[in-house]
Amino acid sequence: MRYLPHTPEDIAAMLKTAGAASLEDFFTAIPPECRRSRPMALPEPLTEWELNAHIDGLAGRMAAGPEARVFLGAGSYEHYIPASVSFVTSRSEFVTSYTPYQPEMSQGTLQAIFEYQSLAARLLGMEVSNASMYDGASALAEALLMAVRVTRRPAVAVSRAVHPLYRQVVRTYLAPTGIEIRELPFRPDGTTDPGALGKVESLAAAAVQSPNFFGCIEDLKRFADTTHSGGALCVAGFTEPLAFGLFQNPGRLGADIACGEGQSLGIPRSFGGPGLGMFASKMQYVRNMPGRLVGETVDIEGRRGYVLTLATREQHIRREKATSNICTNNSLCALTAAVYMASLGGAGLRELAQLNHDKAEYLKAQLRAAGIALPFPAATFNEFVAAFPAGFPDTYRRLLAKKIVAGLPLETYYPELPGHYLLGVTETLSKADLDVLVREVQS
Amino acid sequence: MTTFHGTTGLVLDEPLLWERGRKGRSGFSLPRRDVARCEVAPELAGEIPDVPELSEVDIVRHYVRLSQWNFSVDAGMYPLGSCTMKYNPKTNERQSAHPGFASAHPLLPEDLCQGALQLMTALECCLAEITGLQAVSLQPGAGAQGELAGMLIFHAWHRHQGKPRSKIIVPDTAHGTNPASAALCGYTAVPVRSNANGVLSPETVAAVMDEETAGIMVTNPNTIGLFEDHIKTIADIVHAKGGLVYGDGANMNAVLGRVDVGRIGVDVLHLNLHKTFSTPHGGGGPGAGPVCVRQHLEPFLPIPRVVVRDGVFRWSEDFPLSIGKLQAFWGNTGVLVRAYSYIMSLGAENLKRVSELAVLNANYIKERLKGTFHLPYDRPCMHECVFSDKLQQAYKVTTLDIAKRLMDYGFHPPTVYFPLVVPGAIMIEPTETESKENLDLFIESMKAIAAEARENPEVLHQAPTRCKRRRLDETAAARKPCLAG
């Protein structure tokens, strides 16, 4: 086996040194009742070339690649990824290193993550970002737990226009804690009603997502003001951070915690993971933050350098009193997001965001002209909801056979929205692709 | 004369991104605009993000230079105890980057994502077979999230039995994530000490196990690198009081093909695919932490789960007792493809060989460094061995000094000051992918450092001298945090 370097002579010599007669000797500490009764039954090992063919076969049964036209967003977005981004993030030194606990030997990762934290904070308009979490959904759950720690209040409010799968994760994380979750309804325009917050004084936090699951831009400012009026924290979620290249960012609108999914920033969709849990807050809450943080310092010669810091919040120091059980950050994904953001630059982020917006606006206009209802009038970024006439499910299935996915049916998540589909459009779909969709959904 | 490979190379300085950026540059090929521009309402429009602008060549040089300040498995031996820094096979990168997986949307209709569902099902079967447990969820995104899944399953199971419990037994050798994961479920951690042999005694567990206690969290082999040989009796004690046994599979690399986790009484186990199953650590993630359970706990696994109906793979949420969801989507598929590729490349015999050689390597180091460094538990170890700085204290040399000096010899240091039960611990896990020559060089380095400690301890206090930076002031970093620039 090519990954195992030991020759028979090596093994013999090493056994002799270790005072063992055979490899079996090392396992005598395992009592007989703990041992396997039979060998593992696994497939015969494949050669490298057989593995290529096997994986090609499986991958061939996926609607991905140029022939598929997938009008899906809903928390996972296809954007062009420059070759230079994939190239530098595949460097062995980044890929095959561990968490930078020994800073002198890990300055590459540490500076890169410090830069990620800085760019993430700037994009979100927040004072401090952590080194990242698993994904947007667990980041939201952690944000609500953090708000409970900060305020010591036993309830949170979450908008129903927050990604339904994120709300499911929030329920899972909060289930054993006894923290009450109040759901806030959305209005006919597709946004959340800040007036529905009710008694804010009993809430640790209120969470809203903008752009929300329907693609609509929320009135985050009013939402934050209402939340603050009762001493609760405003948690601003997102699944598509590219939107902040064009729309006002959560920090500017008053968010105390901004958290969401950063997959959009140069990370392949990979069937949903790994992604990038982005997590940022006001500086005053930093000691209650979950997750790793990189900070700037100096070495004994006074030269600038970076270390993991404020570790007394974390499980390896604080154990059961830690701010979270999280250990890993999705470091390589955070690195990727930083390389991607820096590759675009401020002007590129603006222009790309504008293009995404404009493609979605074009598709909206074409669908509207074709007589298809767009029920939510609120402003959107690169996805929106369309209500198709009865009989559309047949069309939808027919299009699937052509590897065209005409949006995400919403009825599964919102029984009150039958016939409603969430359509996502990015720069990777051409005007011709959009025209094909408009033509096909009418036929 | 032994030649060590620690050296200083041509390593270039590099400023921060925004110190390099110049307004008007770009590293991105803007996609063609084929639709009309459409302004957003002025009250919604934000400012242009304050992100530096660099050309593609700037970007590439910036990150290539940064990468050269990192040590990595691909550069050399990385014997971090408990982290299993084995070689990450390159074919696995090719497989996970396959556009069929890498560019697949997670919410594709089932008929359009059969390949991924089939792979996930096959990987679940492999992990069940490897552990001896009956059902697997691939959803947890890392080891600690696997632990959380496990604790949520404990919590949901006890609640389903009609009697929620409030405490959990956690040995003093456990990773910090264990008590932290338990705390998220409202459990109070009850610490128990390991005995003079470095393992748990059944009596110690029996003394604290009661009907308020949800169960026990055990890492086996434990973090001292020893097999918990009373595990079966301990599991019986816990089960007799209605508790459950959690196995932290962080150290699974020692016992592949040897131990039947189900047979020894473990009810729930998480695996770290980024340890045992060779997926790269990425400088701190992403990983994957599948959770494996015995039959009676299968209904509690996270949803959705892949089921097969008429030969077609489908998602199913029809598990009313499930703990729910841990991630928005299905898990870290990119990582799962790599681990699956690893298992398919090795097969049963080679996986068993992996553990044999991992254990051989650790015992070889233990025997050869015994005497040079203090070995608190002198008995055959599993995949890692734990020394301490006790013999070096006379020269005012600490574990930290030894670790920093190793860098100058061209090795990543072992895990230090963990497990907590060994003061000044030096925890060495070589893994099976290191050859005898590499181990010999590491051992010679450690011996040379021990000699320096006696003869010239100042060299150790000053170390490292060959890295990009000398020792960094961590106290100052925490006192006045500068977390963004």
- Find the Cα–Cα–Cα–Cα dihedral B11, B17, B23, B25, rounded to 10°: 60
Give the amino acid at A379: A
A76 and A87 share one domain: no
This model of the complex carries an ipTM of 0.98
Which two three-digit tokens encode residue B2?
């032994």
Determine the pLDDT at residue A321. 87
Determine the pLDDT at residue B193. 95
Is the pLDDT at A123 greater than 90, yes or no? Answer: yes
Is the pLDDT at B288 greater than 80, yes or no? Answer: yes
pLDDT in tens, A14-33: 999 999 999 999 999 999 99
Q: Do B482 and A44 lie within an 8 Å CB cutoff? A: no
A118 and A202 share one domain: yes
A179 and A314 share one domain: yes
Is the pLDDT at B69 greater than 90, yes or no? Answer: yes
pLDDT in tens, B83-120: 999 999 999 999 999 999 999 999 999 999 999 999 99
- Report the alpha-carbon distance of residue A228 to residue B389 in Å, rounded: 53
Q: Do A88 and B63 lie within an 8 Å CB cutoff? A: yes
For chain B, report the end-to-end CA distance as a whole number of angstroms. 47
- Within-domain flag for A3: no
- The partner residue sitting opposite A325, judged by closest CB among B130, B148, B473, is B148
Cis omega (within 30 of 0) for bond into B304: yes
Determine the pLDDT at residue A320. 87
B15–A contact, CB cutoff 8 A: no
Residue A362 domain boundaries: 69-81+345-442
Q: Enter the pTM of the model.
A: 0.98
All residues of chain A having their beta carbon less than 8 Å from the beta carbon of residue B329 are 75-76, 135, 165, 271-273, 275
pLDDT in tens, A255-268: 999 999 999 999 99
A76 and A88 share one domain: no
- The partner residue sitting opposite A331, judged by closest CB among B284, B361, B364, is B284
Determine the pLDDT at residue B1. 66
pLDDT in tens, B343-380: 999 999 999 999 999 999 999 999 999 999 999 999 99
A283 and A304 share one domain: yes
Is the pLDDT at A315 greater than 90, yes or no? Answer: no
pLDDT in tens, B200-237: 999 999 999 999 999 999 999 999 999 999 999 999 99
Is the pLDDT at A66 greater than 80, yes or no? Answer: no
Percent of chain A past pLDDT 90, that is, above it, reads 93
CA distances from B40 to A114, A203, A261, A358, B37 (A): 33, 33, 23, 9, 10
Give residues 147 to 186 of B whose Cβ lies within 8 Å of A. Answer: 147-148, 151-152, 155-156, 175-177, 179-186
- Within-domain flag for A217: yes
- Within-domain flag for A122: yes
- Within-domain flag for A200: yes
Domain stops at, among A277, A308, A340:
A340
- Within-domain flag for A245: yes
- Report the alpha-carbon distance of residue B2 to residue A175 in Å, rounded: 59
Label each residue of B289-323 as H, E or C.
Answer: CCEEECHHHHHHCCCCEEEEECCEEEEECCCCCCC
- Within-domain flag for A62: no
Dihedral pair phi/psi, residue B246, rounded to 5°: -100, 130
B52–A contact, CB cutoff 8 A: yes
Domain stops at, among A340, A360, A382:
A340
Dihedral pair phi/psi, residue A289, rounded to 5°: -75, 145
Residue range A83-101: mean pLDDT, rounded: 97
- Report the alpha-carbon distance of residue A172 to residue A145 in Å, rounded: 12
CA B64 to chain centroid, in Å, comes to 26
A165 and A139 share one domain: yes
- Within-domain flag for A64: no
- Report the alpha-carbon distance of residue B143 to residue B219 in Å, rounded: 12
A289 and A365 share one domain: no
Is the pLDDT at B47 greater than 70, yes or no? Answer: yes
Residue range B439-468: mean pLDDT, rounded: 97
- Indicate which CATH number applies to the domain containing A389: 3.90.1150.10
A295 and A430 share one domain: no
B309–A contact, CB cutoff 8 A: no
A253 and A317 share one domain: yes
- Indicate which CATH number applies to the domain containing A215: 3.40.640.10
- Within-domain flag for A177: yes
Is the pLDDT at B318 greater than 90, yes or no? Answer: yes
Domain stops at, among A340, A373, A398:
A340
Which two three-digit tokens encode residue A370?
């074709």
Q: Domain count of chain A?
A: 2
Cis omega (within 30 of 0) for bond into B191: no
**Nearest alpha-carbon partner for A343 in B261, B384, B21, B81:** B21
A74 and A96 share one domain: no
Determine the pLDDT at residue B378. 93
A294 and A355 share one domain: no
pLDDT in tens, A320-347: 888 899 998 899 999 999 999 999 999 9
Residues 6+ apart with CB under 8 A from A390: A419
Nearest-CA distance B71 → chain A (Å):
6
All residues of chain B having their beta carbon less than 8 Å from the beta carbon of residue A115 are 16-17, 485
Task: Give the start-to-end residue ranges of the domains of chain B.
Answer: 92-344
A77 and A88 share one domain: no
Q: Is domain B92-344 given the CATH code 3.40.50.800 in the classification?
A: no
Nearest-CA distance B322 → chain A (Å):
9
